[in-house]
């Protein structure tokens, strides 16, 4: 049976937000809100998948995964490493050893233009309520788009004084024939944003958690060679929830994606890991965490 070092699972299709760039609620995506698998069945399914594919790292997603705390509390015990992606508007539950990844897409005005009015303030409220001590790591991920590329440092400045311990930049994954204001439409036009992320990595090396090579691979001169052999597709098993079963879409970002313009952090992170492993002659695939 094929082994996957990592998997991502949508444990609910419900969400309390409706972000403009959300791939869960895109038209034609199989992940439309509907009746959901119950907790017991979900945990049994995930346990079987872990054993079948030797999954080491689970990326918990939704919808908003904190809408199913029962699944999270028990589910994280099935995997050695767990990342929970949340919109940050619901109180975090303490899951020792796990990593919360809070999605924030810019300083207040820009973030809220994508994620809804008042969302940034709600995330700050959530962060202010994280107890001390807290056993989980709390980090943030910003989806960089054409609409927020000019305010990335402002975002860093907003997050530095908070409970956020580090930030990664992931670049927007457009759908096929995407004409939204989010996409650059070409890798060359995206480069300006990637160079800005590289500049911020230099300036805030401890707070920006993308490594330098990951960002270099995202530049137009390198990106196609990476996405043509997408390592995320090879190493990360995507599981979307459809009613009372899991289905596997084309990739973690759905079925209608434009691979040529994909800027997903995980893709370039894994490529950098594979490159480093090859350069030292390692023969085992990397895990999907860092």
Rg (CA), the chain: 18
113 sits near ligand SF4 (criterion: CB under 6 A): no
232 sits near ligand SF4 (criterion: CB under 6 A): yes
Buried b / exposed e over 121-130, threshold 16 CB at 10 Å, is ebbbebbeeb
CA-angle at 158, arms to 153 and 163, nearest 5°: 125
Kindly tell me which of 36 and 64 has the beta carbon lying closer to ligand SF4: 64
Q: Considering the complex, what minimum distance in angstroms separates the CB of residue 141 from ligand SF4?
A: 11
Please select the residue that binds ligand SF4; options are 167, 257, 271, 274, rule is CB under 6 A.
257
229 sits near ligand SF4 (criterion: CB under 6 A): no
Please select the residue that binds ligand SF4; options are 37, 155, 264, 274, rule is CB under 6 A.
264
**What contacts 24+ positions apart, CB below 8 Å, involve 189-193?**
189/146, 190/218, 190/220, 190/261, 190/263, 191/219, 191/220, 192/149, 193/144, 193/146, 193/149, 193/152
Q: Considering the complex, what minimum distance in angstroms separates the CB of residue 206 from ligand SF4?
A: 27
Tokens linked to 77: 């015990």
Return the DSSP state at 91: P
User: Phi then psi for 78, rounded to 5 degrees?
Assistant: -85, -15
Distance CA 133, CA 136 (A): 9
Please select the residue that binds ligand SF4; options are 3, 18, 34, 244, rule is CB under 6 A.
18
Answer for the pair 139, 186: CB distance below 8 angstroms, yes or no: no
259 sits near ligand SF4 (criterion: CB under 6 A): yes
What residues between 128 and 167 interact with ligand SF4 by CB under 6 A? Answer: none
Distance CA 225, CA 21 (A): 25
Kindly tell me which of 197 and 230 has the beta carbon lying closer to ligand SF4: 230
Kindly tell me which of 64 and 242 has the beta carbon lying closer to ligand SF4: 64
Closest C-alpha among 180, 175, 59, 64 to residue 122? 64
Q: Considering the complex, what minimum distance in angstroms separates the CB of residue 109 from ligand SF4?
A: 17
Question: For the window 45-84, what string marks contact with ligand SF4 as x by the rule CB under 6 A?
Answer: -----------------xxx--------------------
Kindly tell me which of 48 and 225 has the beta carbon lying closer to ligand SF4: 225
Tokens linked to 69: 């705390």
Tokens linked to 60: 């918990």
Q: Considering the complex, what minimum distance in angstroms separates the CB of residue 77 from ligand SF4?
A: 24
What residues between 20 and 39 interact with ligand SF4 by CB under 6 A? Answer: 22, 24-25
Q: Considering the complex, what minimum distance in angstroms separates the CB of residue 231 from ligand SF4?
A: 8
Of all helices (H) and strands (E), which one includes residue 225? helix 220-227
Tokens linked to 84: 């929970």
What residues between 77 and 106 interact with ligand SF4 by CB under 6 A? Answer: 87
Question: For the window 165-204, what string marks contact with ligand SF4 as x by the rule CB under 6 A?
Answer: --------x-------------------------------
Query: Which spans of this chain sit near ligand SF4 (rule: CB under 6 A)?
Result: 15, 17-19, 22, 24-25, 62-64, 87, 173, 227, 230, 232-233, 251-253, 257, 259, 262, 264, 267
């Amino acid at each position: 049976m094929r082994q996957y070092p990592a998997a991502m699972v949508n444990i609910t299709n419900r969400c309390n937000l409706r972000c403009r760039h959300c791939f869960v609620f895109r038209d034609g995506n199989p992940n439309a809100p509907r009746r959901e698998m119950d907790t017991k069945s979900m945990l049994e399914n995930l346990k079987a998948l872990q054993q079948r594919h030797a999954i080491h790292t689970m990326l918990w997603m939704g919808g908003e995964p904190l809408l199913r705390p029962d699944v999270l509390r028990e589910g994280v015990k099935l995997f050695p490493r767990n990342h929970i992606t949340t919109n940050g508007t619901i109180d975090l539950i303490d899951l020792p050893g796990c990593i919360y990844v809070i999605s924030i897409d810019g300083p207040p005005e820009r973030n809220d233009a994508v994620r809804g009015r008042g969302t940034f303030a709600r995330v700050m409220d959530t962060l202010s309520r994280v107890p001390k001590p807290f056993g989980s790591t709390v980090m943030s991920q910003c989806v960089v788009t054409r609409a927020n590329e000019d305010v990335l440092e402002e975002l860093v400045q907003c997050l530095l004084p908070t409970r956020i311990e580090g930030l990664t930049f992931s670049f927007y994954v457009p759908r096929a024939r995407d004409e939204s204001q989010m996409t650059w439409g070409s890798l060359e036009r995206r480069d300006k944003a990637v160079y800005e992320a590289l500049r911020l990595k230099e300036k805030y090396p401890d707070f920006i958690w993308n490594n330098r090579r990951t960002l270099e691979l995202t530049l137009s001169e390198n990106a196609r060679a990476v996405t043509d052999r997408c390592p995320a597709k090879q190493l990360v098993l995507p599981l979307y929830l459809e009613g009372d079963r899991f289905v596997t879409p084309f990739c973690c970002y759905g079925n209608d994606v434009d691979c040529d313009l994909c800027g997903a952090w995980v893709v370039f992170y894994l490529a950098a890991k594979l490159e480093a492993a090859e350069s030292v002659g390692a023969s085992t695939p990397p895990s999907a965490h860092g």
